[in-house]
Amino acid sequence: MASRRCGAKTRTGASCRAPALRGKRRCRMHGGAPGSGAPRGNRNAFRHGLFTGKAIAERKQIGALLGEVRKLLQEMK
Protein backbone atom coordinates (compact mmCIF):
# COMPACT_ATOMS: atom_id res chain seq x y z
CA MET A 1 0.00 0.00 0.00
CA ALA A 2 3.03 2.28 0.22
CA SER A 3 3.54 2.35 -3.57
CA ARG A 4 2.20 5.18 -5.69
CA ARG A 5 -1.42 4.73 -6.86
CA CYS A 6 -2.77 4.96 -10.39
CA GLY A 7 -4.10 8.43 -11.22
CA ALA A 8 -6.97 7.26 -13.44
CA LYS A 9 -10.58 7.94 -12.55
CA THR A 10 -13.08 5.10 -12.27
CA ARG A 11 -16.64 5.19 -13.57
CA THR A 12 -17.84 6.40 -10.19
CA GLY A 13 -15.41 9.32 -10.30
CA ALA A 14 -13.11 7.95 -7.60
CA SER A 15 -9.41 7.37 -8.16
CA CYS A 16 -8.18 3.93 -9.19
CA ARG A 17 -6.67 2.15 -6.19
CA ALA A 18 -4.32 -0.12 -8.14
CA PRO A 19 -0.58 0.55 -7.84
CA ALA A 20 1.07 2.46 -10.69
CA LEU A 21 3.76 0.66 -12.67
CA ARG A 22 7.37 1.45 -11.98
CA GLY A 23 8.28 4.73 -13.70
CA LYS A 24 4.72 5.35 -14.92
CA ARG A 25 1.68 7.18 -13.61
CA ARG A 26 -0.92 4.53 -14.50
CA CYS A 27 -1.57 0.93 -13.51
CA ARG A 28 -1.47 -2.02 -15.90
CA MET A 29 -5.21 -1.75 -16.52
CA HIS A 30 -5.24 1.97 -17.39
CA GLY A 31 -2.48 2.14 -19.94
CA GLY A 32 0.72 1.64 -17.99
CA ALA A 33 1.66 -1.74 -19.43
CA PRO A 34 2.86 -2.08 -23.01
CA GLY A 35 0.11 -3.53 -25.16
CA SER A 36 -2.58 -2.84 -22.57
CA GLY A 37 -6.09 -2.14 -23.78
CA ALA A 38 -8.16 -3.75 -26.50
CA PRO A 39 -6.41 -4.59 -29.78
CA ARG A 40 -7.23 -2.46 -32.82
CA GLY A 41 -10.25 -3.74 -34.69
CA ASN A 42 -11.37 -5.77 -31.70
CA ARG A 43 -14.72 -7.32 -32.61
CA ASN A 44 -15.37 -8.13 -28.95
CA ALA A 45 -15.55 -4.44 -28.15
CA PHE A 46 -18.23 -3.85 -30.82
CA ARG A 47 -21.48 -2.68 -29.26
CA HIS A 48 -24.10 -1.22 -31.55
CA GLY A 49 -22.46 0.90 -34.26
CA LEU A 50 -24.37 4.05 -33.36
CA PHE A 51 -21.24 6.21 -33.40
CA THR A 52 -19.42 4.83 -36.43
CA GLY A 53 -18.45 7.36 -39.08
CA LYS A 54 -20.88 5.86 -41.53
CA ALA A 55 -23.83 6.05 -39.10
CA ILE A 56 -23.04 9.66 -38.13
CA ALA A 57 -22.80 10.71 -41.80
CA GLU A 58 -26.09 8.98 -42.54
CA ARG A 59 -27.87 10.78 -39.69
CA LYS A 60 -26.49 14.14 -40.87
CA GLN A 61 -27.72 13.46 -44.40
CA ILE A 62 -31.19 12.51 -43.14
CA GLY A 63 -31.31 15.65 -41.01
CA ALA A 64 -30.36 17.81 -44.00
CA LEU A 65 -33.07 16.17 -46.14
CA LEU A 66 -35.67 16.70 -43.41
CA GLY A 67 -34.65 20.35 -43.16
CA GLU A 68 -35.15 20.79 -46.91
CA VAL A 69 -38.58 19.10 -46.72
CA ARG A 70 -39.65 21.36 -43.85
CA LYS A 71 -38.53 24.43 -45.77
CA LEU A 72 -40.43 23.23 -48.85
CA LEU A 73 -43.58 22.67 -46.79
CA GLN A 74 -43.34 26.17 -45.31
CA GLU A 75 -43.06 27.66 -48.80
CA MET A 76 -46.14 25.73 -49.94
CA LYS A 77 -48.35 27.18 -47.17
Instruction: Answer whether residue 7 shows pLDDT above 90.
Output: no
The pTM for the full model equals 0.43
How far is 3 from 66, CA to CA, in rounded Å?
Answer: 58
Percentage of the chain surpassing pLDDT 70?
Answer: 94
Assigned domain for 63 exists: yes
DSSP β-bridge partners for residue 9? 15
Q: Is residue 59 part of a domain?
A: yes
Is residue 9 domain-shared with residue 30, that is, in the same domain? yes
Write the pLDDT tens digit of every residue in 12-46: 889 899 998 888 888 888 877 777 666 777 777 67
Reported as a pLDDT band with limits 50, 70 and 90, residue 72 is very high
Expressed as residue numbers, the domain containing 65 is 47-76
Q: Are residues 51 and 29 in the same domain?
A: no
User: Which residues, at least 6 apart from 19, have a Cβ–Cβ distance to it below 8 Å?
Assistant: 3, 4, 5, 6, 27
Residue 42 is assigned to a structural domain of this protein: no
